[in-house]
């Protein structure tokens, strides 16, 4: 992979460079702002689906909407949750009519979780509304900026990927 001029310049300055440390601090601040905004967005989306839906419930519902029927244990694994917490939250989602649980025909000890028609419809409607807001805000950026932003986010996610021993 070739590095851009700014990549080479950053590498040449080293971790002790005050300007580099200040720039990294700015990224940390923006990440903090992003996480706060993401939590608010998830809460707003959850409330748009049902007034009693938690952020965790929203995440679980989104997982089964996107991925289809999953065993409860697999939902817990995908979201890095304690199985008991996932089970209680899935039961709550079922009580709200947003998901359905049924015995897994391949493993009678496990339950399959699927989004109900109501859960899928509300999740998709809420997602469509929020996506329209994001699209309206990003339309002014231009295609080149959006590709650059996407590339930088992807690169950061690759760099932040946890490696053994870290």
Q: Is 2 helix (H, G, I), strand (E, B) or coil?
A: coil
Return the DSSP state at 164. T
CA 69 to chain centre: 19
pLDDT tens for residues 69-126? 999 999 999 999 999 999 999 999 999 999 999 998 888 788 899 999 999 999 999 9
CA 157 to chain centre: 13
Sign of the Cα torsion 25, 31, 35, 41 reads positive
Q: Per-residue pLDDT for 128 more than 80?
A: yes
pLDDT confidence of residue 1? 40
Q: Which two tokens stand for residue 76?
A: 């817990």
Cα atoms found within 13 Å of the Cα of residue 152, Cβ hemisphere only: 10
pLDDT confidence of residue 108? 79
CB 98 within 8 A of CB 119: yes
Q: How confident is the model at residue 156 (pLDDT cuts 50, 70, 90)?
A: confident
Q: How confident is the model at residue 8 (pLDDT cuts 50, 70, 90)?
A: very low
Identify the residue with better confidence: 165 or 82. 82
Q: How confident is the model at residue 9 (pLDDT cuts 50, 70, 90)?
A: low
Looking up tokens 């807001």 gives: 133
pLDDT tens for residues 26-75? 999 998 999 999 999 999 999 999 999 999 999 999 999 999 999 999 99
């Amino acid at each position: 992979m070739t590095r851009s001029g700014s990549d080479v310049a950053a590498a040449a300055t080293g971790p002790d460079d005050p300007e580099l440390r200040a720039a990294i601090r700015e990224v940390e601040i923006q990440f903090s702002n992003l996480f706060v905004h993401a939590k608010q967005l998830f809460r707003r989306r959850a409330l748009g689906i049902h007034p009693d839906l938690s952020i965790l419930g929203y995440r679980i519902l989104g997982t089964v909407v996107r991925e289809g029927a999953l065993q409860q244990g697999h939902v817990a694994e995908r979201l890095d949750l304690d199985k008991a917490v996932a089970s209680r939250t899935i039961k709550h989602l079922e009580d709200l009519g947003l998901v359905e649980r049924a015995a897994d025909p391949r493993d009678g000890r496990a339950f399959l979780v699927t989004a109900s028609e109501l859960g899928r419809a509300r999740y998709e409607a809420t997602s469509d509304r929020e996506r329209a807001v994001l699209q309206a805000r990003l339309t002014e950026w231009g295609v080149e900026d959006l590709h650059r932003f996407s590339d930088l986010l992807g690169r950061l996610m690759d760099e932040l990927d946890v490696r053994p021993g870290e």
